[in-house]
Structure 1
Amino acid sequence: MAKTDLLTTDAIKISDSEWEVMRVLWTLGEADAQQIADVLGQRMDWKLATVKTLLGRLVKKAAVRTEPSGKKYIYFPQVGEEETLQSATENLFSRICAKKVGSAITDLVTEAQLTATDIAMIQLALAKKTPVAEIQCNCIPGQCECREHQK
């Protein structure tokens, strides 16, 4: 399946374990459950039954599609890695105080191993940003320590 044939959606939410299965499918392009279990068995110590359960969930979420091949199924990613990562990032930032997004990004950059190309890309993105005077808190009262919620 060509990369351009993948569905793009931000509605699909996948668990950490499902991410591991998707990483294998994004790398291989297609695989049967045993191939995925072989790859993840080395890293995650998962059995075939675990992989099949996760694949079933991903099929129900329309993140993966299947095609029969003899007595087994071949699994194909239906969502792209970049789009899924974008959705996960948006989901993460929607769950924290808007005033803390900058420090969260700083923490990510500080903790990540980055190449010179990565750093240049980040610097270029920052150079294109126009700062705002103030960020409005998006928390419910009691969720954060913003002045506007300390009443």
Structure 2
Amino acid sequence: MPEVKLFDSERKIMECLWQGGEMSAKELAEELEKTVGWSKPTTYTVLRKCVAKGAVERMEPGFRCRALVSRAEVCRQETDELIRRNYGGSADRLVASLLGGKKLSAQEIERMKKLIEELE
């Protein structure tokens, strides 16, 4: 799957689809009006952008929509971009930045050790 870069507004559409599964554009508009305060035209505009990017599939009849990329894939892409842009592609520098100066509990240290062992 090619990378799909999502703006915050597009991410709101995706969150609805990831939580609710397949939805009609009308259902999306109603949900986003309640949760974000968007008008129907705003939702439809952002939804069209998601379709154009290949993140959402539009199906007829009824302008039904479903996510074509998973939350996990989007998170992986965004994390990879963060590491590349801010840490020179070095994941260990990201981890060092996240942990810098923090006191970890014994449980947290143990979980990190297990993660590292699984990656080896």
TM superposition score category, shorter chain reference? 0.7 to 0.9
Q: Say yes or no: does 1:55 pair with 2:47.
A: yes
Q: Greater helix share, 1 or 2?
A: 2
Matched pairs, number: 112
Instruction: Give how far 1:128 is off.
Output: 4.8
Verify the 8 A CA contact 1:31 1:75 in the aligned structure 2.
Answer: yes
Alignment gaps of 5+ in structure 1? 1-8, 111-115, 131-151
Verify the 8 A CA contact 1:64 1:78 in the aligned structure 2.
Answer: yes
Verify the 8 A CA contact 1:10 1:87 in the aligned structure 2.
Answer: no
C-alpha spacing 1:19/1:119, structure 2 compared with 1 (3 Å): farther
C-alpha spacing 1:57/1:89, structure 2 compared with 1 (3 Å): same
1:1-30 deviation line (CA, Å, top 9, x unaligned): xxxxxxxx2511111111110011111111
Q: Distance in 2 between matches of 1:104 and 1:123?
A: 17
After TM superposition, the runs of 4+ consecutive aligned structure 1 residues lying more than 6 A away are: none
Name the Cα RMSD after superposition. 2.6
Alignment gaps of 5+ in structure 2? none
Q: Residue 38 of structure 2 corresponds to which residue in structure 1?
A: 46
Instruction: Give how far 1:121 is off.
Output: 5.0
Instruction: Give how far 1:119 is off.
Output: 8.4
Q: Residue 106 of structure 1 corresponds to which residue in structure 2?
A: 99
- 1:1-151 to 2 correspondence within 5 Å? 9-69=1-61, 72-98=62-88, 100-106=93-99, 121-128=111-118
**SS at the partner of 1:75?**
strand
Instruction: Give how far 1:102 is off.
Output: 2.4
C-alpha spacing 1:121/1:34, structure 2 compared with 1 (3 Å): farther
Q: Distance in 1 between matches of 2:39 and 2:33?
A: 7
Identity of aligned residues (%): 23
Larger radius of gyration: 1
- Normalising by structure 2, we get a TM-score of 0.77
Verify the 8 A CA contact 1:26 1:80 in the aligned structure 2.
Answer: yes
C-alpha spacing 1:105/1:52, structure 2 compared with 1 (3 Å): same
